Structure 1
């Protein structure tokens, strides 16, 4: 109860429309005070128990309105949450859910309105507290609560790279959603990439459960990157609502760019702009041609078992192999192309292509190369007429940047 001598009027305004019907709180509405009548019956206006909505006789008193109304149910998480005073200023506002998580907000320039930022979650009860001050100097407490609607499906994100990881200069940021996204634009508006140096880049939707980001050119070496996935409360469409937000921080390592020329049987490795080594290699033979295009190192294994059954070659086939201890193996396609040490083909390295599609080299060169690279380093392959296809690995760099940008929902 607020003392009438301060002339406070606290008004909660229900601003939601559900199924085309105005939603107003009718539970616990103000009852007539002694010698008075209940306040305004204007549609959409409600008042907390015991609080008069009758305009104060004191024009200098704070006059606070809260949206959504106190006690409102099934509030859409993406609807605005505001606290406004028509007299005086808002001093402080805190908005917390029933788990104690706080939703940040901001005051306007003259401190007459506070607006919550994104982050209101579905299926939660929120409590709003704070204070306002009228031009009469009287401090007025603010208190209200509401409950958000329950989502049919929740939206959560899995992310490449990992938080805290140091990666190569060609690594695309990849966000995988646990449920399909219908409203891609609404979700993409909640995604942000911050970099320690200026970097131009774009989001690109692979499908309705994956969105990637890559720069126009390779990431500058040493760049610090922060990915903000501010999707808590976003309406992703078809009854799917963002259940959480995430922040991922990672760093770009040194620049290691490798170029494989299948026709010349060589791989050149350039580190921070300087040629570091030229390596004799062997690549895919006829029928197993190594794909040309820009590949990105996806996984690294000091030792890897390679069984031809994983690529459809069965025991008994003359091309079948099962090698349990392939050294210094680095995956560059989902279909099974690796760069690795291959002592069994040493006689062909630098002169002939004899592999099943992988790029092979000596154990010494394989170990050296393995020690230079990071997940996300590019390997550019030329010299064949078999080309990379979208989705066979991290293939973002095989699209010209202008075409890649067309995959953004906001382009």
Structure 2
């Protein structure tokens, strides 16, 4: 009886060992009666396994990394749309907008990555559809949608001088953005300025919307400046994104620099550092002294209408002059300082006294010479005046800012 019981227990133990070996998939299991004839299903025809089974080795399912995320909004249109696959390859990709336009892309040689090759549009919904096959032949199809930055978050800019303009050696380059710029470093990196003279310069921000660029000294005469702006997709801050790329070419003319001396009552000009003329002048009186420092020529008018009320003068004021027209007017500041032909009543004082309201008054011959020979971007340095420097936003007072401060 004891032997019989021992024998049964041994049989049970042996059976347990067989089961364990079969479960482990060892050599014994492969040769076990009945198992050798069992059909092994294909990995391609079965769900992906995460644990070992009868098929050896296990084929891992494809892992996908797609950008942007499904349902994403305010996507930067310059950011590439991408798809990466691990344990498989890309079979087909389509990136289309709701209006039917298609964006092309580039696929890697191993078929494991795809990246869009063109910029997207602003304020547009896109569908990103793709098919992927894993290493076992199983296919995955998916479509995701996203929307790019809205029109309200597009940032544009006005650029001066305009493309192709010819200006004087003192003309700074100015960019005025439609939206405030908080990421100033990103904007500066997106703008490359080169000169045929080899000059380099620096940016100076006057406020969050306006930045200018100039070299340490005046531009080289008869050089060419190129401003290459890659602003599309540049993030300005607070969700605002640049919507343009643009190249602007500016031509610099001869070096024409004038000096207006309020004490000597003279106006003299040098062209390419050679004297070109000197004439008597009258400038701002003690109540309205001419602004000091460098003033850059802005625009010219053969006849300019002036109104005393625009500078706060009223009838009864000794300085009130009503309304009058002046000839050969060259603007120096938006606030109203000009170089122009002096009025008839001021002619006797030219070269002798200052009695204007800040303008530089010249005789007919001198005023016409300036009008005919000097242009936007040329410059006059006003000396020996009691006036203050013009405000930074009152024309181009960039040259009155020390270089160490300007380039900081």
The two structures have a TM-score, normalised by structure 2, of 0.70
Matched, 1:287 2:300: no
Whole-Å separation in 1 of the counterparts to 2:101 and 2:327: 48
Whole-Å separation in 2 of the counterparts to 1:338 and 1:284: 11
Structure 1 pair 36–322 and aligned structure 2 pair: CA distance change class (3 A): farther
Moved more, 159-168 or 65-74: 65-74
**For 1:281, what is the secondary structure of its paired residue?**
strand
Structure 1 pair 105–233 and aligned structure 2 pair: CA distance change class (3 A): farther
Deviation digits for residues 44-78 of structure 1 (CA, Å, limit 9, x no counterpart): xxxxxxxxx967xxxxxxxxx88636976436316
Partner of 2:45: 35
Partner of 2:393: 391
Q: What is the correspondence of 1:3-402 to structure 2 with a 5 Å cutoff?
A: 35=45, 37=47, 68=67, 73-74=72-73, 76-77=75-76, 79-81=79-81, 122-124=122-124, 147-150=147-150, 152-344=152-344, 345-388=346-389, 389-402=391-404
Moved more, 186-195 or 268-277: 186-195
Structure 1 pair 146–280 and aligned structure 2 pair: CA distance change class (3 A): same
Q: Is the 1:83–1:115 Cα contact (8 Å) retained in structure 2?
A: yes
Structure 1 pair 284–119 and aligned structure 2 pair: CA distance change class (3 A): farther
**For 1:340, what is the secondary structure of its paired residue?**
strand
Q: Is the 1:83–1:113 Cα contact (8 Å) retained in structure 2?
A: yes
Q: Is the 1:190–1:230 Cα contact (8 Å) retained in structure 2?
A: yes
Note the C-alpha offset of 1:207.
0.4
Note the C-alpha offset of 1:246.
2.7
Whole-Å separation in 1 of the counterparts to 2:191 and 2:48: 46
Whole-Å separation in 1 of the counterparts to 2:272 and 2:106: 43
Q: Is the 2:308–2:320 Cα contact (8 Å) retained in structure 1?
A: yes
Q: Is the 1:292–1:384 Cα contact (8 Å) retained in structure 2?
A: yes
Structure 1 pair 99–354 and aligned structure 2 pair: CA distance change class (3 A): farther
Note the C-alpha offset of 1:215.
1.2
Note the C-alpha offset of 1:277.
0.4
Whole-Å separation in 2 of the counterparts to 1:76 and 1:210: 26
Note the C-alpha offset of 1:370.
0.9
Deviation digits for residues 282-315 of structure 1 (CA, Å, limit 9, x no counterpart): 1011211112111111221111001111111123
Q: Which has the higher helix share?
A: 2
Whole-Å separation in 2 of the counterparts to 1:100 and 1:229: 30
Q: Is the 1:157–1:175 Cα contact (8 Å) retained in structure 2?
A: yes
Q: Is the 1:151–1:241 Cα contact (8 Å) retained in structure 2?
A: no
Q: Which runs of 5+ in 2 are unaligned?
A: 1-42, 51-59, 87-92, 130-142
Note the C-alpha offset of 1:128.
9.5
Deviation digits for residues 384-410 of structure 1 (CA, Å, limit 9, x no counterpart): 23221332221111011111011xxxx
**For 2:226, what is the secondary structure of its paired residue?**
strand
**For 2:233, what is the secondary structure of its paired residue?**
coil
Q: Is the 2:326–2:343 Cα contact (8 Å) retained in structure 1?
A: no
Note the C-alpha offset of 1:96.
9.4
Q: Is the 2:68–2:75 Cα contact (8 Å) retained in structure 1?
A: no
Q: Is the 1:172–1:214 Cα contact (8 Å) retained in structure 2?
A: yes
Whole-Å separation in 1 of the counterparts to 2:291 and 2:162: 28
Q: Which runs of 5+ in 1 are unaligned?
A: 1-32, 41-52, 56-64, 87-92, 130-142, 407-411
Q: Is the 1:282–1:355 Cα contact (8 Å) retained in structure 2?
A: yes
Whole-Å separation in 2 of the counterparts to 1:253 and 1:208: 31
Q: Is the 1:122–1:151 Cα contact (8 Å) retained in structure 2?
A: yes
Q: Is the 1:118–1:230 Cα contact (8 Å) retained in structure 2?
A: no
Note the C-alpha offset of 1:201.
0.6
Note the C-alpha offset of 1:234.
1.6
Q: Is the 2:79–2:233 Cα contact (8 Å) retained in structure 1?
A: no
**For 1:355, what is the secondary structure of its paired residue?**
coil
Q: Is the 2:301–2:329 Cα contact (8 Å) retained in structure 1?
A: yes
Deviation digits for residues 234-268 of structure 1 (CA, Å, limit 9, x no counterpart): 21111222222333222111111111111101111
Structure 1 pair 247–120 and aligned structure 2 pair: CA distance change class (3 A): farther
